[in-house]
Amino acid sequence: MDVVAEQRLMVKTARLYYEKGLNQSQIGSKLGLSRQRVQRLLSKARKEGIVHILINPVSDTCDEVEEKLENVFGLRQAVIVETSDYEDQAMVTRELGAAAASYLLSMIQSGQSITISWGETIREMVNACFHITKSKFEDIEVFQGLGGLGDPNNEVHATELTRRLSSFFSGRGHILSAPGLAGTQEAWRAFMSDPFVVSTLGKAAQADIALMSIGAPRKNSVLISEGSIVDWRELANLKKLGAVGDVNLRYFDRDGNPVQSELNSRVIGLDFQDIRSIKTVIGVAGGHQKVKAVCGAVRGNFMDVLITDDVTAGILLSEV
């Protein structure tokens, strides 16, 4: 497990136990951990000197801002990354992907299941996993929560990401044998009548953990650059309807309300209700191109855990 990620988790657990007065079962419920895992983290925090009479936070964390985000938006947990260059969207994406990988490996346990979406942030998260020394996990299942978009050989394709992440865990990957966006509503109905598609989506909605990137309708997005998924006219129409972002290709407005459109009726993937049914939903996004999308996503309560950068976190709190 990544050392900084484990230290962050020890600090968070210690604060909840010693300062907030939560018991181990309550902490486990809040953070999505077993009571035994909480007990081990508290014990290790004492052994490593994180806990004395006072709790010593790990350097370079943003405890106060994370706590404010959690309180204001009802998040179970916020993880803030101090980005090295906020204006460099690719850099922010890589840094957030690495943070998401560390967070996932700090909380995942043998026998659990993961549902993932697609895109550049999830790709960076999967890539980062392979650079982290992991503990031995057994019986991990990974589900594809959205059908394939674009070239199946592209490394941001949901099928490829599902295969790679399941390979990292030496687990089982459950592929969604359908496009993420059907060409017509008739085609959508045909795909959604396939028992394998229905079964995979049903199991994906029952996963222990979901990792969802937060997208934004912009001309330089992967949706447009792929050239075969949607065209700019469709995204421009969504913007006219008030859309500021999407989770799993499900669009929402600035207040987190779903935006209904013809495109939404052709998506083959988990919808907002499905996503909210998952025990722990981790949303990952940041950078100047996604501020409005992240704001709308937290207002819509689509996630339990938010991983974002420090500048975006400050903007979120300033707009409350």
Domain with CATH 3.40.50.1360 in the chain: 62-318
The fold of 62-318 is Rossmann fold (3.40.50)
Q: Is 80 exceeded by the pLDDT of residue 161?
A: yes
Cα distances (angstroms) measured from residue 193 to each of 103, 183, 189, 199, 275 = 36, 15, 6, 10, 21
The pTM assigned to this predicted structure is 0.84
Domain with CATH 1.10.10.60 in the chain: 1-61
Q: In angstroms, rounded to a whole number, what is the distance separating the alpha carbons of residues 135 and 122?
A: 21
pLDDT digits (tens, 9 = 90+) for 84-132: 888 899 899 999 999 999 999 999 999 999 999 998 999 999 999 988 8
Q: In angstroms, rounded to a whole number, what is the distance separating the alpha carbons of residues 167 and 127?
A: 12
Q: What is the CATH number of domain 1-61?
A: 1.10.10.60
With bands split at pLDDT 50, 70 and 90, how would you rate the model's confidence at 164? very high
> Which two three-digit tokens encode residue 22?
């939560």
Helix and strand counts by DSSP (H, E) for the chain: 14, 9
Task: Report pLDDT for 60.
Answer: 52
